[in-house]
Amino acid sequence: MRYPERTYPFAFGGGLAPIVRNLILANAAIWILQQFTKSQMMELFALHPLAVVNDFTLWQLFTYMFLHGSFFHLFFNMFVLFMFGSEVARILGARGFLRYYVMTGMSGGIVQLIANWGTPSVILGASAAVYGVLVAFALFFPNRIVTLLLFFVLPVQLRAKTLVAISIGISLILGLQSEFFGTTDHVAHFAHLGGAFAGLVLLRGHSFFERMLKRIADEQLKKRQMQEKRRQASIQQKRKDIDTILDRINEIGYENISEAERNFLKEASEFLSKEEKIKP
* pLDDT of 274 strictly over 80: no
User: Could you tell me if 27 and 163 lie in one domain?
Assistant: yes
* pLDDT of 5 strictly over 60: no
pLDDT at res. 153:
64
Q: How far apart are CA 63 and CA 26, in angstroms?
A: 12
User: Could you tell me if 132 and 249 lie in one domain?
Assistant: no
* pLDDT of 7 strictly over 70: no
pLDDT at res. 228:
81
Q: Which of 196, 212, 228 is the last residue of a domain?
A: 212
Q: How far apart are CA 30 and CA 63, in angstroms?
A: 10
Q: Which helix (H) or strand (E) holds 58?
A: none
Question: What mean pLDDT comes out for the span 263-269?
Answer: 78
> What are 94-105's pLDDT values in tens digits?
999 999 999 999
pLDDT at res. 197:
92
Best CA proximity match to 77, nearest among 123, 44, 20, 125: 125
In a domain, 59, yes or no: yes
Instruction: Identify the residue with better confidence: 179 or 32.
Output: 32
User: Could you tell me if 258 and 177 lie in one domain?
Assistant: no
User: Could you tell me if 38 and 127 lie in one domain?
Assistant: yes
Instruction: Identify the residue with better confidence: 209 or 136.
Output: 136
Q: Residue 156 in 3-state DSSP?
A: strand
User: Could you tell me if 98 and 159 lie in one domain?
Assistant: yes
Task: Label residue 150 by pLDDT band (50, 70, 90).
Answer: low
What average pLDDT is seen over the chain?
81
In a domain, 2, yes or no: no
Q: What is the DSSP string of 243-273?
A: HHHHHHHHHH-GGGS-HHHHHHHHHHHHHHH
Q: Which of 212, 227, 245 is the last residue of a domain?
A: 212
In a domain, 235, yes or no: yes
* pTM given for the model: 0.68
Task: Label residue 27 by pLDDT band (50, 70, 90).
Answer: very high
- List Cβ neighbours of 122 (8 Å cut-off, separation of 6 or more): 42, 46, 47, 48
CA 47 to chain centre: 23
Please tell me the total count of domains within the chain.
Answer: 2
Domain of residue 88, residue span: 18-212
> What are 207-246's pLDDT values in tens digits?
655 666 667 777 777 888 888 888 888 778 878 888 887 8
Give the Cβ contact number of residue 201 at 10 Å.
Answer: 16
User: Which of 78-92, 130-144, 207-221 is predicted least confidently?
Assistant: 207-221
CATH code where residue 90 lies = 1.20.1540.10
Question: What mean pLDDT comes out for the span 122-149?
Answer: 89
User: Could you tell me if 224 and 145 lie in one domain?
Assistant: no
In a domain, 248, yes or no: yes
What is the b/e burial string over 13-27, where b = at least 16 CB atoms within 10 angstroms of the residue's CB?
eeebbebbbebbeeb
Q: Is residue 168 a contact partner of residue 86, using CB atoms and an 8 Å limit? A: no
Instruction: Identify the residue with better confidence: 215 or 137.
Output: 137
- List Cβ neighbours of 30 (8 Å cut-off, separation of 6 or more): 41, 66, 67
User: Could you tell me if 75 and 120 lie in one domain?
Assistant: yes
Share of the chain above pLDDT 90, in %: 31
